[in-house]
Amino acid sequence: MATRKETPSTPTAPMASTSPGATLDSPVKQIQIEGLVVLKMIKHYQEEGQGSEVVQGVLLGLVVEDRLEITNCFPFPQHTEDDADFDEVQYQMEMMRSLRHVNIDHLHVGWYQSTYYGSFVSRALLDSQFSYQHAIEESVVLIYDPIKTAQGSLSLKAYRLTPKLMEICKEKDFSAEGLKKALIGFEHMFEEVPIVIENSHLINVLMWELEEKCTVADKHELLNLSSSNHLEKSLQLLMDRVDDMSQDIVKYNTYSRNLSKQQQQKHQYIQRRQQENAQRQTRGETPLPEEDVSKMFKPPQPPPRMDTLLIAGQINNYCQNVKEFTSQNLGKLFMAEALQGHNS
């Protein structure tokens, strides 16, 4: 169930972001996270995941009615090359056993991952989440976006695979017909689950104390006006994905062209055969045997549709992020205008 480190440059899954609160017919309608988990995730990324590396970890908690409560988490070490014989399963088992001794919920309910500018929709994520969800029905993957968080507000999203996608993954039928049958678009691959942050009363007391002891000056990064850096990077990633997409489209086009050409050839061959047979009959000879046409003209392999779906989803995700960002910035710019207008 553990995941390997994945390169963020190959995300290939369509992202579905149904608005939270929309029809979610899954067993989990809401995620409740404790403040401790949030802090731990932030710390893990800050210390171990500089740059574009993803950090991953396991979420622990329990299921209460239709809510999934996440009460603790522990990080996963980076998968380094010189640690080839590192047994992830063993690490996980030991960790959970130890945590059980100190009465921490040891029920596996999902995993978390950090992301670089929102590029997390990939085959690896899909596979991991599928294996998690297959084993534990309510599991989720929490995506933590540290760069967006550093811009002013915590960016944490929870995703699950839709039941439709689960079916497809179960049958491992990723061909075009399979996907067409299930009517999966890139919006229907993942569903977002709303998150609520919850703190016990003791932690609330702690928060009050911290506030009193050390009033952290609000640095107001949220009101920062500069946008070009972030936009540039996002657009760069978007362009890469769109390139991938166009390559995929080209592949698909050549495939369909080949297919139609082959159909034509098949027809021509059959026609010629029939003509010959007719001629032979008029001449009184035995007709040539009907050969198996399909064996002669093997249809070309249809390109896998799964990758296209993933790319489309990732592009969708990027676009959503960009739009969010621009809307925020527009607001800020208008505020700055008001301030300046007042001044002059």
Partner 1 sequence: MVAVRPLGIDSEASSDPLQIKLYELPAAAQMSVYGPVVKIHPVVLASIGDSYERRNEGASRVIGTLLGTIDKHSVEVTNCFSVPHNESEDEVAVDMEFAKNMYDLHKRVSPSEVIVGWYATGFEITEHSVLIHEYYSREATNPIHLTMDTALQSGKMNIRAYVSAQMGVPGKTVGVMFTPLSVKYKYYDTERIGVDLLQRTRDAPNTTNGLTSDLCQVGGAAGRVQDMLATVLTYIEDVLSGKQMADNSVGRYLMDLVNKVPKITAEDFETMLNSNINDLLMVTYLSNLTQAQIALNEKIVVL
Residue 262 makes contact with partner 1 by CB under 8 A: no
Q: Considering the rule CB under 8 A, would residue 340 count as an interface residue with partner 1?
A: yes
Q: Which of 150, 140, 135, 124 lies closest to 54, judged by CA?
A: 124
Q: Please, which of residues 106-125 interact with partner 1 by CB under 8 A?
A: none
Q: Which residue, chain included where needed, has tokens 């919850």?
A: 198
Tokens, residue 156: 């944490």
131 to 170, contacts with partner 1 by CB under 8 A? 146, 149-150, 152-154, 156
Minimum gap (Å) between residue 74 Cβ and partner 1: 8
d(CA 311, CA 331): 31
Residue 66 makes contact with partner 1 by CB under 8 A:
no
**How many CA atoms lie within 13 Å of 279's alpha carbon, on the beta-carbon side?**
7
Closer CB to partner 1, 63 or 277, in the complex: 63
Q: Residue 304 interacts with partner 1 (CB under 8 A)?
A: no
User: By CB under 8 A, is residue 261 in contact with partner 1?
Assistant: no
Task: Compute the least distance from the CB of residue 95 to partner 1, in Å.
Answer: 6
For the bound state, the minimum distance from the C-beta of residue 140 to partner 1, rounded and expressed in Å, comes to 15
Distance (Å, whole) CA 232 – CA 117: 11
Which token pair is 125?
């994520």
User: 94, 243, 285, 291: which one contacts partner 1 (CB under 8 A)?
Assistant: 94
Q: For residue 290, what are its two tokens?
A: 């009907």
HSE-up (13 A, CA, CB side) for residue 314: 34
61 binds partner 1 (CB under 8 A): no
For partner 1, give the closer residue by CB, 288 or 336: 336
Q: Which is nearer to partner 1, 10 or 277 (CB)?
A: 10
The count of residues interacting with partner 1 (CB under 8 A) is 104
Q: Does 22 bind partner 1 (CB under 8 A)?
A: no
Nearby residues of 118 by Cβ (< 8 Å), 6 or more positions away: 145, 148, 234, 237, 317, 318, 321
Query: Is residue 305 close enough to count as binding partner 1 by CB under 8 A?
Result: yes
Query: Would you say 120 or 186 has its CB closer to partner 1?
Result: 186
Q: Does 297 bind partner 1 (CB under 8 A)?
A: no
Taking the C-alpha atoms of residue 343 and residue 239, their distance in angstroms, rounded to an integer, is: 40
Q: How many whole angstroms separate alpha carbon 68 and alpha carbon 26? A: 12
**Integer CA distances (angstroms), 296 to 258, 268, 291, in order:** 15, 13, 8
Q: Is 59 in the site for partner 1 (CB under 8 A)?
A: no
Residue with token string 């790319």: 311
Comparison of 204 and 264: residue with beta carbon closer to partner 1: 204
Q: Does residue number 290 form part of the binding site for partner 1 (CB under 8 A)?
A: no
For 317, residues 6+ apart whose C-beta sits below 8 A from its C-beta are 15, 17, 118, 119, 121
Cα–Cα distance between 21 and 122 in angstroms, integer?
25
Q: Kindly identify the residues of this chain, within the stretch 164-203, that bind partner 1 according to CB under 8 A.
A: 176, 180, 183, 185-186, 194-203
Q: Which stretch binds partner 1 (CB under 8 A): 58-66, 116-124, 241-249, 290-298?
A: 241-249
Does 302 interact with partner 1 (rule: CB under 8 A)? no
Return the SS3 of 102. coil
Tell me: does residue 39 bind partner 1 (CB under 8 A).
Answer: yes
337 binds partner 1 (CB under 8 A): yes
Euclidean distance between CA atoms 171 and 117, whole angstroms: 32
- Nearer CB in complex with partner 1: 40/123: 40
Binding range to partner 1, per CB under 8 A, among 5-13, 276-284, 287-295, 321-329: 321-329
